[in-house]
């Protein structure tokens, strides 16, 4: 995939914006052109949240992704809202623990990954979003594991450095699914 033009979406509190930040930072570390545009409702936790993330070798004209080539949906309202916007040939990654619906389109690649369940079973509660990044890495090669490790070390705040190892475990779980 030459350019990554992704929409990441779910409920506030699921780490949607952080997921976008991680993906965007990986592009920065890889010395690519990057944009990250968060969007969330006034409710924050429990309301809807989404962000657009672009990574490219070329300058990015607009940070707003209208027709993504990647959609990551962590809840049903987000899947319903964005599924028809995904480009034909695009990738849709769904947290199947929280989204019971199947995608009816046959012109996109769809992966159902029980990220929330995987996080809980592996003592990684709250890291379903990071598991989904691992799956995206495996499918698109938007960055290497080495770059992701540098990214996680950068985006995890200094006071929470004990979370670097669990985040990397979550990345690897998603990549291996």
Domain that holds residue 25: 4-176
Q: How many domains does the chain have?
A: 1
pLDDT tens digits, one per residue of 78-99:
999 999 999 999 999 999 999 9
What is the percent of the chain where pLDDT is above 70?
95
Q: pLDDT category, 48, cuts 50, 70, 90?
A: confident
pLDDT digit string, tens, across residues 112-125: 999 999 999 999 99
pLDDT value of residue 79: 97
Torsion sign over Cα 57, 61, 65, 68 = negative
Sign of CA dihedral 123, 174, 72, 29: positive
> What are the tens digits of pLDDT across the range 158-170?
999 999 999 999 9
Task: Please report the pLDDT score of residue 41 as a whole number.
Answer: 63
Give me the CATH number covering residue 160. 3.40.920.10
Lowest-confidence pick of 21-25, 37-41, 65-69, 145-149: 37-41
- Give the per-residue pLDDT at 147: 98
Q: Look at 46 and 51; give whichever has higher pLDDT.
A: 51
Please check the confidence at residue 66 and state whether its pLDDT lies above 60. Answer: yes
Q: State how far the Cα of 103 lies from the Cα of 70, in Å rounded to an integer.
A: 14
- Residue 2 is predicted with a pLDDT of 82
Q: From residue 137, give the alpha-carbon distance in Å to each of 39, 47, 80, 105, 162.
A: 23, 27, 24, 23, 23
Cα–Cα distance for residue pair 72/8, rounded to 1 Å = 5
């Amino acid at each position: 995939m030459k350019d990554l033009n992704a929409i990441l979406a779910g409920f506030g509190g699921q780490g949607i914006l952080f997921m976008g930040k991680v993906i965007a930072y990986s592009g920065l570390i890889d010395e690519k052109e990057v944009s990250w545009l968060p969007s969330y409702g006034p409710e924050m936790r429990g309301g809807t949240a989404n962000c657009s993330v672009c990574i490219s070798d070329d300058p990015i004209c607009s940070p707003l992704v209208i027709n993504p080539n990647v959609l990551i949906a962590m809840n049903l309202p987000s899947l319903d809202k964005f599924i028809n916007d995904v480009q034909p040939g695009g990738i849709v990654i769904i947290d199947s623990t929280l989204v019971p619906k199947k995608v009816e389109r046959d012109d996109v690649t769809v992966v159902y990954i029980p990220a929330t369940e995987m996080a809980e079973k592996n003592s990684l509660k709250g890291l379903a979003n990071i598991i989904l990044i691992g799956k995206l890495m495996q499918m698109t090669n938007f960055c290497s594991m080495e770059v992701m490790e540098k990214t996680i070390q950068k985006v995890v705040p200094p006071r929470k450095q004990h979370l670097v190892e669990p985040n990397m475990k979550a990345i690897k779980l998603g990549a291996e699914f």
